[in-house]
């Protein structure tokens, strides 16, 4: 088993563990408490959001920074938060011009304003002289600063291109 195979196995295992723990805990909580109304509550994660991100990109052969934007929509059922997100990032690397992803997110609320989540979907990387579409897996933690503002730390891994991204993002709820 190579170092790359070990890293991929570790990432996949971490994502599976995060999603499984979220589903198991959320099912237990929903069954015990019922599904609360999440209309205009300060703690509601439901709704459309948009934001900006900055991070570090490691492609093994090309490292640098990323700066981008994201837009998404969340839904909430008890302590389970799920949604869809798309993003576009430009890089400060020599060979990667930009990249974007479209991903699903599934998370669990550890507290009303603290979300841990796993994410999976597709990414597109535009290299100098070409491009590639790839499977993207990741994990993250996100917290509410106000009713309309969240901040998060996220790790994404592009499978075939072996690109790893760690980024910090700020989101603003667009329909509060």
In 10 A of CB 22, how many CB atoms?
23
pLDDT recorded at residue 41: 55
- Tell me, what's the pLDDT at 128? 86
Least confident of 41-45, 102-106, 115-119: 41-45
Residue 148 backbone phi and psi in degrees, to 5: -115, 0
What CATH number corresponds to the domain at position 25? 2.40.160.20
pLDDT for 4 equals 52
Q: Cα 92 to chain center, whole Å?
A: 21
**Cβ distance 45 to 109 under 8 Å?**
yes
C-alpha span between 27 and 22 (Å, rounded): 8
The residue segments making up the domain with residue 84 are 3-173
Residue 17 scores a pLDDT above 60: no
**How many structural domains is the chain composed of?**
1
pLDDT in tens, 39-61: 445 679 999 999 999 999 999 88
pLDDT tops 50 at residue 18: no
Confidence of residue 62 (pLDDT cuts 50, 70, 90): confident
Dihedral Cα 15, 70, 135, 11, nearest 10 deg: -20
Collapse the DSSP code of 41 into the 3-class scheme (helix H, G, I; strand E, B; otherwise coil) and give the result. coil
Q: Residue 111's pLDDT is what?
A: 96
Write down the pTM of the prediction: 0.76
């Amino acid at each position: 088993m190579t170092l790359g195979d070990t890293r991929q196995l570790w990432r996949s295992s971490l994502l599976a563990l995060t999603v499984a723990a979220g589903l198991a805990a959320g099912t237990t909580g929903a069954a015990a408490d019922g599904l609360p109304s999440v209309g205009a509550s300060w703690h509601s994660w439901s709704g459309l959001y948009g934001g900006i991100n900055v991070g570090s990109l490691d492609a093994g052969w090309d490292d640098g920074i990323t700066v981008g934007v994201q837009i998404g929509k969340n839904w909430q059922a008890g302590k389970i938060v799920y949604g869809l997100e798309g993003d576009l990032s430009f890089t400060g690397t020599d060979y990667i011009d930009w990249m974007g992803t479209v991903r699903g997110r599934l998370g669990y609320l550890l507290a009303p304003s603290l979300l841990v989540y796993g994410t999976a979907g597709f990414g597109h990387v535009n290299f100098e002289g070409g491009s590639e579409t790839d499977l993207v897996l990741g994990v993250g933690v996100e917290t509410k600063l106000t009713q309309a503002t969240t901040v998060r730390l996220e790790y994404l891994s592009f499978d075939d291109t072996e690109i790893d991204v760690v980024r910090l993002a700020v989101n603003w709820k667009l329909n509060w």
